[in-house]
Chains A and B, each alone.
Chain A
């Protein structure tokens, strides 16, 4: 994971955090970082270390690649659209 300025790492941190009902501060406390760091991560302004990436994934109980990816994630809308059409 990049630990520099290159915006190569994509993440779903905001989505998972919102779903878990956690504030930035609560999540920050769980992984022992400054709450601002969560904001930096969510905006993609900072790429976490492997250790922090694994800690964040552990909070949500998902594999790290579910939370972070080198390629852009498919948007939630486009993921839901085909299945909802099929359900109708």
Chain B
């Protein structure tokens, strides 16, 4: 182990966990809600916009926080247990993202036949943005929930 990594932000574990829940909710409601609501009233439009901004800033905060930096630290800065945890977080993130994407693809099959809701191009871009932002923060979120308080 060369040196410890130095995160830009050091949130308390409890804060990081609370923020992660808030970010996932904000991204889910902000982007999915925005994609479904095609012509929202002004107050809802503003609310969705604020949720998206909060979700984006929160995801970046989680990314630069110590758990997010743990997720992205090179091998030489981590010991074998930390590498093991990081790798497990990435495997779980990959599984969650692949299952989510596959579920979305599966939905499109009956949706075309049964005339269910399908996103237009702007809404599809919104959903892809939410997907990308979530995948950015997910390994750090998983590490935050799996971490234990310092001894």
Task: Spell out A's residues near B (CB within 8 Å).
Answer: 3, 24, 32-37, 39-40, 45-46, 48-49, 51-52
Contacts and interface: CB of A to CB of B under 8 A. Distances in A.
Contact of A46 (B78, B81, B150): B81
A26 B77 CA distance: 18
Contacts of A24: 151
Nearest to A32: B1
B1 A39 contact: no
A37 B81 contact: yes
A48 B82 CA distance: 12
Interface in B74-132: 78-82, 84
Q: Tell me the interface secondary structure of chain B in the complex.
A: loop
A45 B148 CA distance: 11
Q: In this complex, which of B79, B81, B82, B150 has the most chain A Cβ atoms within 10 angstroms of its Cβ?
A: B81
Nearest to B78: A34
B97 to A, nearest CB: 22
Contacts of B151: 24, 35-36, 39
B150 A52 contact: no
A32 B82 CA distance: 12
A31 to B, nearest CB: 9
Nearest to B82: A34
Interface in B1-50: 1, 4
A32 B1 CA distance: 6
Nearest to A42: B151
Contacts of B80: 3, 33, 37, 48-49, 51-52
21 contacts: A3-B80, A3-B84, A24-B151, A32-B1, A33-B1, A33-B79, A33-B81, A34-B1, A34-B4, A34-B81, A36-B81, A36-B151, A37-B79, A37-B80, A40-B81, A46-B81, A46-B84, A48-B80, A49-B80, A51-B80, A52-B80
Closest 9 CB pairs of A and B: A33-B79, A39-B151, A37-B81, A32-B1, A46-B81, A34-B79, A37-B79, A49-B80, A40-B81
Contacts of A40: 81
Contacts of A49: 80
A59 to B, nearest CB: 15
